[in-house]
């Protein structure tokens, strides 16, 4: 660029000196040479302008693609967070207005500065897009983790006949720890998986009767006992809310009901706390 400016300055200086010192002494050959030099310079400027505009068009196209990506991410994040989609009009031009008050001492924007601003904006859009993707991944993981925690009652309509904690054993009458909750339901009532997971036990137990254990990962296991019929097998993947068994009175039981347990690292937890937390 500096060489080009020096060349133009030399041509103009030569032309001025000739006209100044020897008026009328410019030959036709010199006129042709000067005209040719001017045309060459104009062609260079036009080529530079076209190349600059092409580069800007490419940058604008890339930013449009990035904006479409951000619009898609924004719509998905809106759904993941439970916000109303109508509150965030992705894909629409923001409404703007107000009086025109020009800034003082405005400088003319050059093609170079415009390209630099476009490049900077493109890098900023790319950075924001990467961060939104990371946020979407975290939200999806959090949503998946919630699905893997006991959050749905295994019986749709029932009442607790026995809560979690110490109680008088119905067979011995002595104080004993009850490591789950009992749902009082008629024989054959559908039992549902409280969370998604993998069936790790589906068989008869001496005390639990027909029992199912589901591993939900992160050391969380749920138990469903005293069933009259098991509807799943070991190794089967179940989703939260899937029907897995029918209630009964098998094993150590005084009548038809569901005994439901939640265990963390093998230690019994109060299932009601999980269900209340999920509902809150």
**Average pLDDT of the residues of the chain:** 76
Q: What domains appear along the chain, each with residue ranges and CATH number?
A: 2-81+118-147 (no CATH), 159-279 (2.70.70.10)
Residue 152 confidence (pLDDT) = 86
Span 232-252, average pLDDT: 95
The percent of residues in the chain predicted with pLDDT above 70, rounded, is: 56
Q: How confident is the model at residue 139 (pLDDT cuts 50, 70, 90)?
A: low
**Confidence class for position 278, pLDDT limits 50, 70, 90:** very low
* Residue of higher predicted confidence among 131 and 209: 209
**pLDDT tens by residue, 204-226:** 999 999 999 999 988 899 999 99
Residue 178 confidence (pLDDT): 92
224 in Cβ contact with 212 (< 8 Å): yes
Maximum CA pair distance of the chain? 131
CA angle 275, 178, 208 (to 5 degrees): 95
Q: If phi over 0 gives left and psi between -120 and 50 gives alpha, with beta otherwise, what is residue 279?
A: alpha
pLDDT at 99 over 90: no
Tokens 């006949």, located at residue: 161
User: Which tokens sit at 95?
Assistant: 């409404």
pLDDT digits (tens, 9 = 90+) for 17-60: 555 545 455 567 666 666 676 777 777 777 777 776 677 767 66
pLDDT for the residue 38 = 73
Asked whether the whole model's pTM tops 0.75, one would answer no
Q: Range with the lowest mean pLDDT among 10-24, 239-253, 266-280?
A: 10-24
pLDDT of residue 22: 53
Average pLDDT over residues 189-198: 94
| pLDDT of 233 | 96
The predicted pLDDT at position 200 comes to 96
Q: Which of 225, 234, 228, 215 is nearest to 180 (CA)?
A: 225
User: Which DSSP symbol is given to 256?
Assistant: S
The residue among 40, 25, 266, 258 whose CA lies nearest residue 158 is: 258
- Least confident window among 109-113, 230-234, 245-249: 109-113
Q: Tokens for 28, please give them.
A: 């036709």
Looking at per-residue pLDDT, the higher value among 190 and 105 belongs to: 190
**Is 80 exceeded by the pLDDT of residue 272?**
yes
Q: Is the pLDDT of residue 279 over 50?
A: no
Burial class (CB within 10 angstroms; exposed 0-12, middle 13-18, buried 19+) of 7: middle
Phi-psi region of 215 (alpha: psi -120 to 50; beta: other; left: phi over 0): beta
Q: Is 150 exposed, middle or buried (0-12, 13-18, 19+ CB in 10 A)?
A: buried
Between 146 and 76, the more confident residue is 76
- Measured in degrees and rounded to the nearest 5, phi and psi for residue 212 equal -125, 135
The pLDDT tens digits for 59-69 are: 666 776 776 77
On the question of pLDDT at 228 being above 70, the answer is yes
Count of alpha carbons within 13 angstroms of residue 225, beta-carbon side:
20
């Amino acid at each position: 660029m500096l060489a080009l400016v020096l060349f133009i300055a030399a041509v103009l200086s030569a032309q001025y000196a000739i006209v100044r010192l020897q008026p009328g002494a410019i030959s036709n050959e010199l006129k042709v040479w000067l005209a040719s030099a001017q045309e060459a310079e104009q062609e260079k400027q036009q080529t530079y302008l076209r190349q600059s505009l092409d580069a800007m068009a490419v940058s604008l196209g890339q930013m449009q693609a990035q904006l479409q990506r951000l619009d898609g991410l924004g719509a998905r994040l809106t759904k993941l967070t439970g916000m109303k989609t109508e509150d965030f009009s992705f894909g629409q031009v923001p409404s703007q207005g107000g009086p025109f008050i020009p800034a003082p001492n405005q400088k003319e924007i050059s093609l170079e500065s415009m390209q630099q601003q476009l490049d900077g904006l493109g890098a900023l859009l790319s950075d924001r897009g990467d961060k939104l993707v990371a946020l979407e991944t975290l939200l999806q993981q959090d949503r998946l983790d919630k699905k893997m925690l006991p959050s749905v009652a295994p019986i749709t309509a029932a009442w607790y006949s026995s809560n979690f904690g110490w109680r008088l054993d119905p067979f011995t009458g002595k104080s004993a720890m009850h490591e789950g909750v009992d749902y009082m339901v008629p024989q054959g009532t559908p039992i549902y998986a409280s969370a998604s997971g993998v069936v790790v036990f589906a068989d008869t137990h001496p005390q639990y009767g027909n029992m199912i254990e589901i591993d939900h990962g992160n050391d969380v296991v749920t138990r469903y006992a005293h069933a009259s019929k098991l509807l799943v097998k070991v190794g089967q993947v179940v989703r939260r809310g899937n029907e897995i068994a029918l209630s009964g009175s098998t094993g150590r039981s005084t009548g038809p009901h569901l005994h439901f347990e939640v265990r963390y690292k093998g230690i019994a937890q109060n299932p009601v706390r999980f269900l209340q937390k999920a509902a809150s």
